[in-house]
Amino acid sequence: MIKPTWAAVGGLALLGTAGGIGLLVASSGGEEEVNKQVATPPVVSAAPALTPGPGVTLWRWMNVTVLIPSASGITAGPNVLYLDAQGTQSRQVLSVGKADTDDSEIFSYVQIDAQNGMVLSQQILDQHRAEIELVLATIAVSPLDAKTAPWPYNGEGPTNAPREAPFGISLIRPDPATGIFIDYVYSADVGYRGGVTPAPCEGGSQGIQVRNGRSSAGFWVDAKTGSLCRNLTNVHPDDLAAFERYSADVKRCGTDVQC
């Protein structure tokens, strides 16, 4: 099982999992924090531009994409940036970051507005600047084209892709270009996320949330029977075919597949 790890630095909390990072910003309202959160246009790097291809992965969250070299150690993932201390104003962001190789509590991050591609918040260490600015130069804003997007939007599930098995649930992590992310959920009511729990499933304390910023689905193990439960009640109609296709590939360890 892959568990999240946290590092707190200067009012920031960095959440890391296999699928990327999340960054929670607790604003103090001070001048320094306000300056960090002023929206700025995407960075234009003087280095050779990254292009899609072997060794470079396209990452999407909602309407924004970036290109990241696979060997760079830079991670990406969705998050919510709170713009005020009360948490009443927020933006969906794509968080891009890199931790120091010797100390994971020393890290750089950039938070990109997931709708318009503007950089809303950043902290870039000198040793990471060249690599991160190369990634920021690839920021693009374009809605997902479901007709050409990878599985589960189109085609069959990858037969040779590695499967993860958190909480006794076997799954494949979608291609980052789909904008679909997997969260491991630790909650007393994971089975009730997104709507009414389908009978006869009971809620559980651990499960999987699959989301793309517009839709979310939940998968967990029934607390009484041990069977796999699925909840797609919070999936947008335009995403339903893809989420149903993904759901069909989620398996129960020991029953549907060996893990």
Name the one residue in this structure whose structure tokens are 């607790």. Answer: 26
153 within domain boundaries: no
150 within domain boundaries: no
| pLDDT, tens digit (0-9, with 9 covering 90-100), for 197-210 | 555 676 667 899 99
Domain-ending residue, one of 141, 175, 194? 141
Clarify whether residues 29 and 118 are in a common domain.
Answer: yes
Clarify whether residues 13 and 111 are in a common domain.
Answer: yes
Q: When comparing pLDDT for 196 and 241, which is higher? A: 241
Clarify whether residues 88 and 130 are in a common domain.
Answer: yes
Q: When comparing pLDDT for 77 and 45, which is higher? A: 77
| pLDDT, tens digit (0-9, with 9 covering 90-100), for 121-136 | 999 999 999 999 999 9
Residue 168: what pLDDT? 94
194: left (phi over 0), alpha (psi -120 to 50) or beta: left
Contacts of 12 (CB under 8 A, 6+ apart): 23, 24, 25, 26, 109, 123
Clarify whether residues 89 and 203 are in a common domain.
Answer: no
| pLDDT, tens digit (0-9, with 9 covering 90-100), for 155-181 | 998 888 899 999 999 999 999 999 999
Mean pLDDT for all residues in the chain: 81
63 within domain boundaries: yes
Residue 78: what pLDDT? 97
Distances (CA, A) of 129 to 76, 110, 209, 237: 16, 11, 33, 41
Clarify whether residues 124 and 167 are in a common domain.
Answer: no
Residue 83: what pLDDT? 86
| Tokens encoding 144 | 């997902």
pLDDT band at 104 (very low <50, low <70, confident <90, very high): confident
Residue 146: what pLDDT? 95
Q: Centre a 10 Å sphere on the Cβ of residue 37 and count the other Cβ atoms it contains.
A: 18
38 within domain boundaries: yes
Best CA proximity match to 253, nearest among 204, 202, 219 = 219
Q: When comparing pLDDT for 108 and 34, which is higher? A: 108
Number of domains in the chain: 2
Contacts of 167 (CB under 8 A, 6+ apart): 1, 184, 204, 206, 207, 208, 220, 221
pLDDT band at 190 (very low <50, low <70, confident <90, very high): low
Q: Is the pLDDT of residue 120 over 80?
A: yes
* Cα–Cα distance measured from residue 187 to residue 189, given in angstroms and rounded to the nearest whole number: 5
Domain extent, residue 69, equals 5-141
| pLDDT, tens digit (0-9, with 9 covering 90-100), for 78-89 | 999 998 888 889
* Cα–Cα distance measured from residue 169 to residue 193, given in angstroms and rounded to the nearest whole number: 17
* Cα–Cα distance measured from residue 140 to residue 118, given in angstroms and rounded to the nearest whole number: 10
48 within domain boundaries: yes
> What is the pLDDT averaged over residues 240-258?
94
Q: When comparing pLDDT for 89 and 51, which is higher? A: 89
What's the residue count for the chain? 259
What is the CB-side half-sphere exposure of residue 215 using CA atoms within 13 A? 18
| Tokens encoding 234 | 């919070």
82 within domain boundaries: yes
